[in-house]
């Protein structure tokens, strides 16, 4: 059985390679990076020209969106999707992470552990979040304020995402190692520029809107991919193919969803072939879906808003024992 399952992924990999879907797409990425940087720079120019005005909140919204789009490029570079050269992927990743203020080394290490064991209760850092419980065992271990938050996690989930941007900056400074100086400089320069141009009330409001919406957008982009899907524990017998497919969820939608979610809407294909360039994922989707159907492997996909429903439903069910204990 194990040999047969291993050969399943080998067969799928052969189909993907024969379709040429692992080939680099540098033209796509040069265009995407160029547009992102142009819009990002234009937003900061508008910030400088507008001065002390409430119109700066519109700039904060644009910067939140573009910060996430820059982070998507950093994600792709971390998976070596852009260049064949490790060096140029790293240069791209470090540059984009530096602009956003997220440690590239910390994030790549964390994300690599997630890809190796997605939705694993003990080994996936993305299901080890202090204020949330993704299994009842995690819920039972919560104490004090963390338990109170986790018991109401379905209601608090989206409000908590507003803090994700601040958390990413904090973790990047705390765990970044040799990048720490750059991460601290990012924060210092950002605050200096904002408070230089804006009066204190406008400045604080601008920062809150920018960082909260950036964190919210980031969280809403990554949450639908695995949350609410089966959570694995030690001793599971799934092979690589089934482990990646059964714990992942695709999001249906048009080209707009592809841009909005940075290609993460093809999560199943991304987890099976993490170095596949983003624009090729939609072409791989048809091959992978058909293969899974032929081999009796459950393939999850739904609309964006339905995916959030699944996330909230799972969080609500996991928290039920905690809510009962507080009654």
| pLDDT tens-digit readout, 55-104 | 999 999 999 999 999 999 999 999 999 999 999 999 999 999 999 999 99
Q: Residue 72's domain spans which residues? A: 2-326
Residue 286 has what pLDDT?
Answer: 96
> Contact 275/79 with Cβ under 8 angstroms?
yes
Distance CA 136, CA 176 (A): 32
Residue 6 has what pLDDT?
Answer: 59
Q: How confident is the model at residue 4 (pLDDT cuts 50, 70, 90)?
A: low
Residue 138 has what pLDDT?
Answer: 92
Domain count, the chain: 1
> Contact 229/246 with Cβ under 8 angstroms?
yes
Mean of the per-residue pLDDT values of the chain? 94
> What is the average pLDDT across 141-152?
92
Residue 234 has what pLDDT?
Answer: 83
> What is the average pLDDT across 234-249?
92
> What is the average pLDDT across 257-279?
97
Distance CA 323, CA 311 (A): 18
Residue 293 has what pLDDT?
Answer: 96
First to last CA, the chain: 48
Question: pTM to 2 decimals?
Answer: 0.94
Residue 5 has what pLDDT?
Answer: 59
The rounded Cα 195 to chain-centroid distance in angstroms is: 30
């Amino acid at each position: 059985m194990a040999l047969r399952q291993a050969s399943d992924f080998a067969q799928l990999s052969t189909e993907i390679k024969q379709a040429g879907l692992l080939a680099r797409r540098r033209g796509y990425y040069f265009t995407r990076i160029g547009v992102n940087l142009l819009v990002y720079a234009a937003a900061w120019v508008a910030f400088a020209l507008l001065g002390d005005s409430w119109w700066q909140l519109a700039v904060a919204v644009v910067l939140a969106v573009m910060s996430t789009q820059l982070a998507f490029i950093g994600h792709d570079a971390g998976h070596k999707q852009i260049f064949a050269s490790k060096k140029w992927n790293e240069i791209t990743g470090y540059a984009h992470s530096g602009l956003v203020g997220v440690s590239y080394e910390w994030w790549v290490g964390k994300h690599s552990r997630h890809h190796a064991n997605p939705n694993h209760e003990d080994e996936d850092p993305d299901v080890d979040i202090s204020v949330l419980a993704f299994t009842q065992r995690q819920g039972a271990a919560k104490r004090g304020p963390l338990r109170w938050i986790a018991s109401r996690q379905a209601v608090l989930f989206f409000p908590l995402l507003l803090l994700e941007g601040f958390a990413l900056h904090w973790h990047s400074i705390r765990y970044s190692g040799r990048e720490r100086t750059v991460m601290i400089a990012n924060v210092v320069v950002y605050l200096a520029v904002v408070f230089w141009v804006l009066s204190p009330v406008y400045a604080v409001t601008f920062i809150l809107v920018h960082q909260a919406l950036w964190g919210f957008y980031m969280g809403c982009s990554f949450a639908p991919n695995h949350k609410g899907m089966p959570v694995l524990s030690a001793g599971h017998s799934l092979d690589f193919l089934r482990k990646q497919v059964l714990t992942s969820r695709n999001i249906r939608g048009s080209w707009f969803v592809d841009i909005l979610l940075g290609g993460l809407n093809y999560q199943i294909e991304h987890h099976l072939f993490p170095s596949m360039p983003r624009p090729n994922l939609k072409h791989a989707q048809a091959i992978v879906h058909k293969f899974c159907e032929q081999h009796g492997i459950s393939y999850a996909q739904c609309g964006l808003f339905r995916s959030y429903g699944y996330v909230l439903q799972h969080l609500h069910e996991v928290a039920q024992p905690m809510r009962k204990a507080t009654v």
